[in-house]
Structure 1
């Protein structure tokens, strides 16, 4: 099933949108509600081969910005957040 709404967002392609669909994220609103940190960490916990680039891509998708243009200080904050993230 195509995830056309998510695929229309910057940085997200067929693979990442399929992964997101597998954790129940099908729309930009659902991604925003779940939060990029929760989505990223849930994918990681379920064994998907995620990298920090996906985290930056998710941030960029919600902020309409290419993943490689995410400011370095935001990348540092996201990296620190993911290292300390705990579910629940």
Structure 2
């Protein structure tokens, strides 16, 4: 059996639900994707961008407390977050999902993934 996303430090049931909506169903899958790709998928699936949510993921994947990010490291993570957010906003799938969300329709992001 695979470990759930919530088995990763700092990540609880809400993060696990967001990951499931993005097609990420296990802790190993999240580790394999890495923080940047996983967070991009979360945004594409409709998760609202939030810097703390991003660096909680980064710290968790490193096995560190969520609030361990400081100084230059935090500034560098902020730059990565801003880039991920900008790229996700320009994605056609992300735009469509945002429009459907505004109408109250929840979609499965996997339906929009290219094979």
Q: Tell me whether the two structures share a fold, i.e. TM-score over 0.5.
A: yes
* C-alpha contact 2:51 2:81 (8 A) present in aligned 1: no
* C-alpha contact 1:31 1:39 (8 A) present in aligned 2: yes
1:57 offset after TM fit, Å?
1.1
Cα-Cα RMSD: 2.1
- What's the TM-score, normalizing by structure 1? 0.77
What 5-or-longer segments of structure 2 have no aligned partner?
89-115
1:26 offset after TM fit, Å?
2.1
Change beyond 3 A, Cα 1:61–1:8: same
Within a 5 Å distance, the mapping from 1:1-88 to structure 2 comes to: 5-85=4-84, 86=87
Q: How many residues align?
A: 85
What 5-or-longer segments of structure 1 have no aligned partner?
none
Q: Please tell me whether Structure 1 or Structure 2 has the larger radius of gyration of its CA atoms.
A: 2
SS at match of 1:35: helix
Q: Deviations over 1:18-76 (max 9, x none)?
A: 11122122222211222211221222233212411111111111111111112332221
Change beyond 3 A, Cα 1:46–1:6: closer
